[in-house]
Amino acid sequence: MPSAHIPSAETLQSFEQDINRIRDNTLTNVGQADADYIRNMIRFQRLLDLSGRLCMVLGFLHPLWWVGGVFALGIAKILDNMEIGHNVLHGQYDWMNDPHINSRKFEWDNAGDSGSWKRYHNHEHHTYTNIIGKDRDYGYGLLRLSNDLPWRPKNVLQMVYYWLLSILFEWGVAYHEVAAERIFFGKKRKHSSLPISREQLKKDFFNKISYQMFKDYIFWPLLCFPVFFQVLLGNICANLIRNLWTSTIIFCGHFTEEAHTFSEEECKNETRGQWYYRQILGSSNLEGPRWFHILTGHLSCQVEHHLFPDVPARHYPAMAAEVAEVCKKHGIPYNTGPFFAQYFTVLQRVWKYSFPSSEGKQQAA
């Protein structure tokens, strides 16, 4: 793992004040423009969703209609999950007091139950980012991505596991907490912080995947019955487009070559400045035009998302420039790069840790 010079306590305190200043300044500009943005984004996403479904039906006129419809529906699902769902579920728009754009009630077009996602992602992953043994998003219990974990023979095939996880990503999201709590397989956990009963978790899991399968693979195809299989195949392909894109963006956020890991011991009694420092070392940004940032749900600015998860994400690109300057001022690494360059290092990392290595863990912070 890459190592970094650990800043002094004075440096981290100054760093904390600078990061807080960026957050405070941005929050003074959060208001009606943000409300208009998310409402317009939801309207556009719904129009794109319906247009895509209509074009798929018109595929009997010419195959290009079907191809265009699948692409439009895939983009609509990406916007629903990334720019709308992910950010609303983080509470970025709760201040609007809109009952339909609220983290407590929003449900997304995804097999994963939003309540389950908020528990293991919003709380666990964002609190314990890249801490081995505490952040279950690190490798998803499936992949070995650093020397912090012992090598096992099954790791030789983890490139295959990675591709399967990417193809089936929404099902991985749905199953993540259920697997961690060993609801169906394995011995019951001795210590669990699950705030609901195991039966309720199981019920929510089956309710959401049943609804999602009925909607995508029965309701919409039956509604367009003369072209049932045409619509069914279109929905499968649109979900595949969404799964591959979201998994790729999320992997680029934490599993690039320069992304650091941490032990529980290293993070005991950490100050706010140390927490900011860990979020920056454990995250990676992607550079690109505005449309690219929107399609990633602004997770292209993963560093800023981890520093300010409840700030409306459309502010992240502007905040990124300020955060990078603050990191430069304090001599703190800031991991950013073009999409393909960052993604290549993700693939390298998955491949590298498929095999045993004599390289010992280097402390990151």
The encoded tokens of residue 42 equal 């939801």
**pLDDT(257) > 60:** yes
Alpha-carbon span 364 to 138, nearest angstrom? 16
How far is CA 294 from its chain centroid?
A: 14
Residues 287-314, mean pLDDT to the nearest whole number: 97
Q: Which residue carries 């430069």 as its tokens?
A: 328
311 closest CA partner among 18, 25, 15: 25
- 31 vs 191: which has the higher pLDDT: 31
Residues 6+ apart with CB under 8 A from 273: 12, 13, 15, 16, 19
DSSP tag of 337: E
DSSP 338: E
d(C-alpha 276, C-alpha 283), whole Å: 11
What are the beta bridge partners of residue 301? 285
Beta carbons of 135 and 72 less than 8 angstroms apart: no
CA angle, residues 26, 27, 28, in degrees to nearest 5: 90
- Can you tell me the distance from the alpha carbon of 342 to that of 248, in angstroms, rounded to the nearest whole number? 10
pLDDT of 363 reads 41
Asked if residue 80 lies in contact with residue 50, where contact means CB atoms within 8 angstroms, the answer is no
Buried b (16+ CB within 10 A) or exposed e, 112-125: bbbbbbbbbbbebb
The helix (run of H) or strand (run of E) holding residue 285 is strand 285-287
Phi, psi of 121 (to 5 degrees): -95, -60
- Rg (alpha carbons) of the chain, rounded to whole number: 21
Q: Rounded to an integer, what distance in angstroms lies between the CA atom of residue 217 and that of residue 223?
A: 11
Answer for the pair 204, 116: CB distance below 8 angstroms, yes or no.
yes
Task: Report, as an integer, the average pLDDT of 250-270.
Answer: 91
Length of the chain: 365
- Write the single-letter amino acid at 302: Q
Distance between CA atoms of 262 and 278, rounded to whole angstroms?
A: 8
Phi/psi at 276 (nearest 5 deg)?
A: -55, -45
pLDDT of residue 292 exceeding 60: yes
pLDDT in tens, 84-140: 999 999 999 999 999 999 999 999 999 999 999 999 888 889 999 999 988 888 888
SS3 108: coil
Please give the average per-residue pLDDT across 331-356, as a whole number: 96
Determine the pLDDT at residue 330: 95
Closest CA to 292 of 238, 248, 256, 239: 248
Half-sphere exposure of 5 (CA within 13 A, CB side): 8
Pair of tokens at residue 340: 């393909």
Given a contact cutoff of 8 angstroms between Cβ atoms, the answer to whether 276 and 19 are in contact is yes
Q: What is the DSSP string of 165-182?
A: HHHTHHHHHHHHHHHHTT
| Mean pLDDT of all residues in 235-239 | 97
Please state which of the ranges 28-32, 258-262, 311-315, 358-362 shows the lowest mean pLDDT.
358-362
Q: Do the Cβ atoms of 44 and 295 come closer than 8 Å?
A: no
Q: Which residue has the tokens 């800023």?
A: 304
pTM of the model: 0.92
CB atoms within 10 A of CB 218: 12
User: Can you read off the two tokens belonging to residue 193?
Assistant: 């912080």
Q: Tens digits of per-residue pLDDT, 93-104?
A: 999 999 999 999
Host H or E run for residue 70 = helix 63-79
Assign 358 a pLDDT band (cuts: 50, 70, 90). Answer: low
